[in-house]
Amino acid sequence: MLTLSEGSSLKIKENSYNVPRLVIGAPQGRSGKTTFTLGLLRALSSQGIKVQPFKKGPDYIDTNWHTVAAGTVSRNLDAYFMTQQELCESVFCHTRDKNVAVIEGAMGLYDGSDLKGSSSTAEIAKITRTPVLLVVDATRMTRSIAAMVMGYQHFDPDVQILGVVLNKVARNRHEKVARESIEEFCKVPVVGAIPKDLNLTIPDRHLGLITSGEIHETNQLLDYFAEIIIKHVDLDLVLKLAQSAPEIPNISDYFKVNQSEVPKVRSNAPKIGIIRDAAFSFYYPENIEALQRQGAELVTIKALSDDKLPSDLDALYIGGGFPEVFAAELEKNQSIREEIKGCAEKGLPIYAECGGLMYLGRTIRTSDQCYNMVGLLPFDTQMERKPQGHGYTLMKVSQAQPWFDQDTEVKGHEFHNSRIINLPSEIEFGFQVKRGHGIDGQSDGICYKNVFASYNHLHAIGCPAWAERMVELALLYKQKKWLSIEKVAGQN
């Protein structure tokens, strides 16, 4: 049997695609797979095992927690944005220098966007040929759990469920009957039984878990999760199951030769600012890396605390997050809001998604307060109790603007509890909504000068031209700035 000490020395063999890996699935959401995954990541990494975390689907918050727990940047695997080849190559590429990959699923194992289970956790498991460890909420069930597991085993024979974790176990007899039933009838091992524990939770809000950066005791909480996993889960058996994963399929010949893309080297590298703090934290690492591969120099800006933008900035990227939660602090920092507005009026390229869209408007309105924002775009944002847009999107580029080629289609996703109000009828939109809600059910992507602001989140793998276009716009802006400076110098 593979042991923890052996696991820490595991290396992926050269020219081998037998990456040790597991998908963490569950019969339904809130079964405990996220807390189990976080505890597993911290437990393995604390014992010297290099673990690469992944999250199924377009999730920013869970990947942020994964990253802190494992000490390695977590990645998203999404069959809507990525081809089968891209999914498999992502798993291999990011795990080849690690010991094991852990892929956390979303919702129930077979829950997808249609009858076929498209974009489900099971689909990711099948595409990447990754075995599944099923986390089951054992509340008020014993022998019946075996019937449930057996159903999941036979629902799709191409999904290989290799083990079960019992969660919220009441007492020893509860565990004994459930464990024996599963191992007798389902012929798979129960690798762990986690007792009921009210402390095995992470606070959440309207869009899911709160972000890891908002809890001062983040590491203490993750360490506690790890202690529970180490005590109640057979980690050696978990590693053995991961090691049984077959070779990853769909690795292209090109990828085998060129396993990393060399970033472009530019003598005139444009400087792109990324607003990244507690209010704006929703960024895919692939988006950041795509800008770097295009030769951009990236600089972090904090809308909550920085009083001005860098003087040599050539473009600005404002991702999603929770500006409504930090609206008072954002309003208080008037100087940077005025700087952003002034630079945008002068032509600074700005790409803003969801929370960034809200920030560029006039105000954010909650149930009892109204907070001033940048005021660049002519609308207000009203917070609501229920989601106003949730799910995958498909946008058709509807008019000539500098960010996307006209009539192309852009895949994305949205998840917001806000809506745009008081928007003038003459506003120009860059997207026509073919799937999703966008700003008004028909349009998304407000265009103003070199600004593009939408509810739609995109992923650079699914929209590779985005980073190239942003860097092109930044270079054009930089060139115009220098021409303007030289003109003024010549006049003097």
Name the DSSP letter for residue 57: S
Cβ–Cβ under 8 Å, residues 240 and 310: no
Per the structure block, which two tokens stand in for 396? 């058709």
pLDDT at 16: 66
- Spatial separation of the C-alpha atoms in residues 50 and 98, rounded to whole Å: 5
Bridge partners (DSSP) listed for residue 132: 23, 161
Over residues 374-403, the mean pLDDT reads: 95
C-alpha dist (Å) from residue 351 to 109, 293, 452, 455 = 35, 18, 5, 11
- Spatial separation of the C-alpha atoms in residues 50 and 95, rounded to whole Å: 9
Question: Quick one: CA torsion of 396, 274, 413, 289, rounded to 10 degrees?
Answer: 90
Percent of the chain with pLDDT over 70: 90
Q: Which residue has the higher pLDDT, 156 or 483?
A: 156
Please identify every residue annotated as catalytic: 354
Mean pLDDT in the chain?
Answer: 92
pLDDT at 426: 92
Over residues 395-402, the mean pLDDT reads: 91
The position carrying tokens 């630079």 is: 343
**191: confidence class by pLDDT, cuts 50, 70, 90:** very high
Could you tell me how many residues make up the chain?
A: 492
Cβ–Cβ under 8 Å, residues 182 and 221: no
Q: What are the structural domains, with CATH classification, of the chain? A: 16-255 (3.40.50.300), 271-483 (3.40.50.880)
Which of these ranges, 60-64, 130-134, 269-273, has the smallest mean pLDDT? 60-64
**11: confidence class by pLDDT, cuts 50, 70, 90:** low
Tell me the one-letter amino acid at 416: H
pLDDT at 399: 83
Encode pLDDT of 158-176 as tens digits: 999 999 999 999 999 999 9
Over residues 210-231, the mean pLDDT reads: 81
Per the structure block, which two tokens stand in for 54? 């992944």
- Spatial separation of the C-alpha atoms in residues 247 and 252, rounded to whole Å: 13
Furthest CA-CA distance within the chain: 89
Cβ–Cβ under 8 Å, residues 55 and 76: yes
pLDDT at 207: 46
Per the structure block, which two tokens stand in for 97? 């220098």
pLDDT at 259: 56
- Taking phi first (over 0 means left), then psi (-120 to 50 degrees means alpha), and beta for anything else, what does residue 170 get? alpha
**282: confidence class by pLDDT, cuts 50, 70, 90:** very high
pLDDT at 313: 97
Helix ranges (H only) for 96-135 are 121-128
Which of these ranges, 10-19, 48-57, 234-243, 261-270, has the smallest mean pLDDT? 10-19
Between 33-46 and 218-232, two packed helices, what is the crossing angle to 10 degrees? 90
- Sequential DSSP letters for 240-279: HHHHT--------HHHHH--SPPPP--TTPPEEEEE-SSS
- Taking phi first (over 0 means left), then psi (-120 to 50 degrees means alpha), and beta for anything else, what does residue 100 get? beta
pLDDT at 471: 97
Q: For the purposes of burial, counting CB atoms within 10 Å of the CB of 285, is it exposed (0-12), middle (13-18) or buried (19 or more)? A: middle
Between 61-70 and 33-46, two packed helices, what is the crossing angle to 10 degrees? 20
- Spatial separation of the C-alpha atoms in residues 91 and 101, rounded to whole Å: 8
- Spatial separation of the C-alpha atoms in residues 253 and 262, rounded to whole Å: 18
Per the structure block, which two tokens stand in for 237? 């058996």
pLDDT at 8: 57
**481: confidence class by pLDDT, cuts 50, 70, 90:** confident
Bridge partners (DSSP) listed for residue 315: 272
Cβ–Cβ under 8 Å, residues 401 and 447: yes
pLDDT at 211: 57
pLDDT at 466: 97
From the list 39, 55, 57, the residue with the least C-alpha distance to 47 is: 39
pLDDT at 489: 55
pLDDT at 130: 98
Encode pLDDT of 453-464 as tens digits: 999 999 999 999
